[in-house]
Chains A and B, each alone.
Chain A
Amino acid sequence: MVKAKFILSESSESENFKNFANGEPCTLGIDEAGRGPVLGPMVYGCAVSQLNQQEALKELGVDDSKMLTEEKRGKIFSLMKSDEETRKFVAYALKALSPRMISASMLRRTKCSLNELSHLAAIELIQHALDNGINVKEIYVDTVGPKATYQARLREKFPQIETIIVEEKADSKFPIVSAASIAAKVTRDTLLCEWKFVETKIQVHKDGFGSGYPGDPLTKRFIAETVDPIFGFPSLVRFSWKTAEEIMKKKAVKCTWDEPGSSTVSVSSFFVKSGSGEAPPIRRHAFFNDRHITNCTSF
């Protein structure tokens, strides 16, 4: 089945990712950046490092990534990307999920929640590492949703991996997760900074669009100013977010949202007034109702 281009995520990786460490046993960490914001992509990062190189990793300064300054993060990621010495003991791969992809997934007929998208991205990154000949012995993941189910899911998917640990705040507990977190954050920040609007005539206020978080007044203003009453938001905006919906209610043409749990045909349509002489309408299987398909009885 052909998929629309915006539905796929964009992948990238460090030059040394393929066959990293030449089969030496490695540890792999997964973290994300940009989960909560209403603007911009969500980036999933995976970092790999040899099991016997953990000291070098720590010396790189990969501490709790949230404690590092933006500048420090940028410096570390630069080293991971281009420094020959650093690339001997660490490599990374990334997946960027665009705002359009996130929103479309959360609102389509067969919905894919943000948690589910996250799990799938993590699984794809792990598989990518394995497909690239990396000898993964341990996996550490920062949790998204309940960690027990997530951990079980990963263990079922990758039974051959000896150690799989899913934890909260994994980026402050495991250096390899912190490295992944840095790669993801810096990449997201860059993507946001360098965002090129597909839409014409988007005028961003001179103060910018802020951090991208729904609570940020600059971000709110950006969304409010760039919403089109008929076409909605520029593709930088996650239109499935409540913030976006609120603004649409006020500033766009009235529209109805597909409420989850609502049936497409009312129950009362089953019933025909007795003696009316009308045949009850054909009620087909859910497959057809979900796709709004009915039989024509007249032309």
Chain B
Amino acid sequence: MVNFRRTRSQTKSIDHEEDDLENGRENLNEIIESQEIKSDESYARKFFVLKESILNAQGSIVPLKHPKFGTKTLYFVSKAEVCEVLKVDDGKTSMFYGESVISDGSITMLSPIHPLFLAIPYLIKVVKSRFAPLDQILVDEDFPAIGRLAENESLIKALAKFSDSKELCDTLMYRYNEELILKWLEGKFEVLKKSLLEHGTLHISIADNEIVLRRYTFGILADFLPEELGLMLKTHLDIQEPETDSYSSWKRKIDEVEEDEENYTPSPQPAKKIVKISTAAKKLKEASKGTKSLMGFFSPKS
């Protein structure tokens, strides 16, 4: 730890004391910028969060097609488990470790995902109107690893219930059934909603409002579905979009409740302009609805 040696006695005025410390602090920033301080590389580590059962599972990390975006995404695949490989990184976290600091405090998380999510795009593509066995459905020359899911126990179990299946010459064959898949998704929706309430540390504006909560839950689930199927599910679950009216009344409510705390000085309210916003900005707003950015109407440092 850098030491700030006091060069003046404490009888000096307060302002001078502040200058002293300021000079010391400038030195510290200089030292940091010159990169004289280096972490001990022998302490370098990467951080992972995953279920214990995965440590022992025979599997590997493979690239697969993202069910919604269609882009190359990494997943962990074993016979029993499939996980998304996620990174938790706010760009500013470091970890203390031993006598050193690990600058990159980001965490890689293996998050379990039901393999049916990954299989759905292939079901839609290959067996919408015919039957075929799993190893002929899960075929992709860009992402060959998808074939490994053909042996996945959870997937086979789910397909038995949520698709049309028949046996032909000792081979199980499947056909995509939209109704049944929607039913499966409905079940997932309910489980997710309950879990969010219990563990999601949601903002009260989401947790306390059933309509907002449903929309929020659906939004998360839609992250795993091809666009069309997502829209179908939205109708199926009767997810309501906010009307522009209710959004601005919600905004007004927030302005009312959140007042300046430290020094109460009444501030003039700016006239609410109606501004035309671009589709991209609208999408951004939509995605951030009900989350912390809305609560930013008050500032803790005003």
B164 within 8 A of A: no
Q: Chain B residues with Cβ under 8 A from A294's Cβ?
A: 86-87, 89
Which residue of the partner chain B has the closest CB to A298?
B74
A67 within 8 A of B: no
Q: Chain B residues with Cβ under 8 A from A298's Cβ?
A: 74
A36 to B297 CA separation, bound complex (whole angstroms)? 21
A217 to B219 CA separation, bound complex (whole angstroms)? 51
Binding-face segment, B65-73, B119-127, B133-141, B154-162: B65-73
The answer to whether B216 and A287 touch across the interface, beta carbons within 8 angstroms, is yes
B54 within 8 A of A: no
Binding-face segment, A8-16, A25-33, A70-78, A276-284: A276-284
Binding-face segment, A81-89, A105-113, A170-178: A105-113
Q: Mark A275-299, 1 if CB is under 8 A from B, else 0.
A: 0000100111111111111111111
Q: Chain A residues with Cβ under 8 A from B14's Cβ?
A: 217, 220-221, 224
Q: What is the minimal beta-carbon distance from A138 to any residue of chain B, in angstroms? A: 25
Q: Chain B residues with Cβ under 8 A from A288's Cβ?
A: 220, 223
The answer to whether B21 and A251 touch across the interface, beta carbons within 8 angstroms, is yes
Q: Mark B290-302, 1 if CB is under 8 A from A, else 0.
A: 1111011111111
Q: Chain A residues with Cβ under 8 A from B10's Cβ?
A: 205
Q: Chain A residues with Cβ under 8 A from B2's Cβ?
A: 229
Q: Chain A residues with Cβ under 8 A from B201's Cβ?
A: 1, 109-110
Binding-face segment, A44-52, A156-164, A259-267: A259-267
Q: Chain B residues with Cβ under 8 A from A289's Cβ?
A: 287-288
Q: What is the minimal beta-carbon distance from B119 to any residue of chain A, in angstroms? A: 18
A113 to B87 CA separation, bound complex (whole angstroms)? 30
The answer to whether A242 and B301 touch across the interface, beta carbons within 8 angstroms, is yes
> Chain A, interface size: which category?
35 or more
The answer to whether B22 and A287 touch across the interface, beta carbons within 8 angstroms, is no
The answer to whether B88 and A285 touch across the interface, beta carbons within 8 angstroms, is no
A5 within 8 A of B: no
- Asked if A296 meets B73 with Cβ closer than 8 Å, knowing A240-B300, A253-B32, A256-B92, the reply is yes
A229 to B28 CA separation, bound complex (whole angstroms)? 8
A284 to B288 CA separation, bound complex (whole angstroms)? 11
A145 to B264 CA separation, bound complex (whole angstroms)? 9
Q: Chain B residues with Cβ under 8 A from A292's Cβ?
A: 88-91
A285 to B219 CA separation, bound complex (whole angstroms)? 6
Q: Chain B residues with Cβ under 8 A from A286's Cβ?
A: 219, 287-291
Which residue of the partner chain B has the closest CB to A205?
B10
**Which of B89, B283, B295 lies in contact with A111, CB distance below 8 A?**
B295
Q: What is the minimal beta-carbon distance from B94 to any residue of chain A, in angstroms? A: 11
> Chain B, interface size: which category?
35 or more
A residues 225-269 near B (Cβ < 8 Å) are 225, 229-230, 240-242, 245, 250-254, 256-257, 259-263, 267
The answer to whether A115 and B258 touch across the interface, beta carbons within 8 angstroms, is yes
The answer to whether A296 and B108 touch across the interface, beta carbons within 8 angstroms, is yes
- Asked if A115 meets B90 with Cβ closer than 8 Å, knowing A260-B298, A267-B284, the reply is no
The 8 closest A-B pairs by CB, nearest first: A260-B296, A261-B296, A114-B261, A292-B90, A296-B85, A106-B300, A279-B71, A296-B74
Interface residues of A (CB under 8 A from B): 1, 35-36, 106-107, 109-111, 113-116, 145-146, 149, 205, 214, 217, 220-221, 224-225, 229-230, 240-242, 245, 250-254, 256-257, 259-263, 267, 270-271, 279, 282-299
* New contact pairs (20) apart from A146-B259, A282-B69, CB-CB < 8 Å: A1-B199, A110-B201, A111-B295, A114-B261, A149-B256, A221-B17, A224-B21, A229-B2, A229-B28, A257-B301, A260-B300, A270-B280, A279-B71, A282-B73, A285-B287, A287-B200, A287-B291, A292-B89, A292-B91, A295-B87
Pick 11 A–B contacts, CB within 8 A, sort by A: A113-B298, A220-B14, A242-B302, A253-B25, A260-B292, A261-B296, A267-B284, A285-B287, A289-B288, A290-B292, A292-B88
Interface residues of B (CB under 8 A from A): 1-2, 10, 14, 17-18, 21-22, 24-25, 28-29, 32, 61, 63, 66, 69, 71-74, 84-92, 108-109, 198-203, 216, 219-220, 222-223, 256-259, 261-263, 280-281, 283-284, 287-293, 295-302
